[in-house]
Structure 1
Amino acid sequence: MLNTAAHLRAALLVACVLVSARGYSQEAPTPIARNGVTYVTGGIGEDEVRAFHEVARQYNMRLTFASKTGHYLSDVDVSITSNQHVILSARSEGPFLFVHVPPGRYRIAARDRHLTETKEVVVPSTGAIDVRFYWDDPDRHGVMQLCQRCPKPAQQ
């Protein structure tokens, strides 16, 4: 009986270790291939952020989307063109969109709600570029101040 109890405790200990290890593990983002371009998107939650930091070196164009007040944004429509040909059109599933493209010149158009920001970039043959897009806080966009002497609305 003692032998069985010891085996049971050992089995429970191993099960607890495996369950807790699974809770701390992070899966790498699943790459998507389209038109000869590979990309990953996401970055919601601490585990995903860590996973994106681990795979960042595999992508030579890394885009980040945030409000000017520092809040990360998702659901940003992105179009990447080269020589007026669209090489990628995607919607971000989080604040990160990491893309692997051939070296060269690109135009990136990123649209959050009704505002589009455009940037011209050059991807080097070695290394990578980090491109950040910032928009006004989406909760404050369109707020009008009706009187000139009124205090400005508080920033959130």
Structure 2
Amino acid sequence: MFTLFRFYAFLLFAGLVVFSGSVDAMPASAPVRHNGISYITGGIGQTEVEAFRAQAQQYNLRMTFTTKSGAFLSDVDVSIWNMARHRVLRVRTEGPFLFVRLPAGRYQIEIHLGPQSATKAVQVPARGGSEAIFRLDDPDTCGVILLCKQAR
């Protein structure tokens, strides 16, 4: 009985070692190509954050989505428009990062998360890249009426 227990414990430990090794080796999400525009989105967990940072220079528009208190956001709806008001990309983020490879030019970025929205104009250079950081209100307090202690 004790030998059988040790055997199962060994199998469990070996499985955890194999599984944790495969998670550490997991790359950032694979690039997606839509209408000739390549992008990646994600950045959940330290391993994925490091993988995104390693790929950052391959993309000339890098966006980060956080709350004003510094927490990372996901599931942000993003639309990128060129100056002719044609939408070149529409995507929902899968983490706090969205890295896009665009032709050089001026673009308008519109984002939506629940009741919140924001817009930024960016210039994507022919060489190098642009950063756009969006800081939104904390989702759990946005649109919520908070009563101060004196009002109770």
- TM-score in terms of structure 1 length: 0.79
- Name the CA distance, whole Å, in 2 between partners of 1:44 and 1:71: 12
Question: How do 1:3-18 residues align onto structure 2 when only pairs under 5 Å count?
Answer: none
Shift of 1:30: 0.2
Counterpart for residue 68 of structure 2:
68
Structure-2 residue corresponding to 1:107:
108
**TM superposition shift of 1:145:** 4.6
**Which ranges of structure 1 fall in alignment gaps of 5 or more residues?**
1-14, 152-156
Structure 2 counterparts to residues 136-147 of structure 1, below 5 A: 136-145=137-146
Q: Work out the CA distance in 2 between the residues paired with 1:144 and 1:107.
A: 32
Q: Which amino acid aligns with 1:87?
A: V
What amino acid sits opposite 2:97 in the alignment?
Answer: F
Greater gyration radius? 1
Structure 1 equivalent of residue 131 of structure 2: 130
Matched position secondary structure for 1:48? helix
| Distance in 2, Cα, partners of 1:120 & 1:36 | 21
Q: What does residue 38 of structure 2 align with?
A: 38
SS at match of 1:27: coil
Q: Which moved more, 1:107-116 or 1:19-28?
A: 19-28
What SS does structure 2 have at the residue aligned with 1:144? Answer: coil
Distance 2:94 2:86 in 1: 23
**Contact conserved, 2:63 with 2:99, CA < 8 A, in 1?**
yes
Question: How much does 1:141 deviate?
Answer: 1.1
Q: Report the alpha carbon displacement of residue 80 of structure 1 after superposing the two structures with TM.
A: 0.2
The Cα of 1:29 is off from its aligned counterpart by 2.4
Secondary structure in 2 matching 1:75: coil
Question: Partners in 1 of 2:31 and 2:118 — Cα distance?
Answer: 25
Q: 1:150 to 1:128 in 2, by over 3 A?
A: farther
Amino acid at match of 1:119: K
After TM superposition, the structure 1 = structure 2 runs for residues 48-127 of structure 1, keeping only pairs within 5 Å, are 48-82=48-82, 83-127=84-128
Matched residue type, 1:53: R
Letter paired with 1:139: D
Matched length: 135
Looking at structure 2, the residues matched to 49 and 143 of structure 1 have their Cα atoms a distance apart, in angstroms, of 31
Q: Deviations over 1:55-107 (max 9, x none)?
A: 00100000100100111000000000002000000000000000000000000
In 2, distance between residues paired with 1:28 and 1:79?
Answer: 22
| CA RMSD after TM alignment | 2.3
Q: Is the 8 A contact 2:28 2:42 kept in 1?
A: no
Stretches of structure 2 lacking an aligned partner (at least 5 in a row)? 1-13
Q: Secondary structure at the match of 2:48?
A: helix
Q: Distance in 1 between matches of 2:36 and 2:30?
A: 16
Tell me the TM-score normalised to structure 2 length. 0.81
**Is 2:40–2:99's contact at 8 Å kept on the other side of the alignment?**
yes
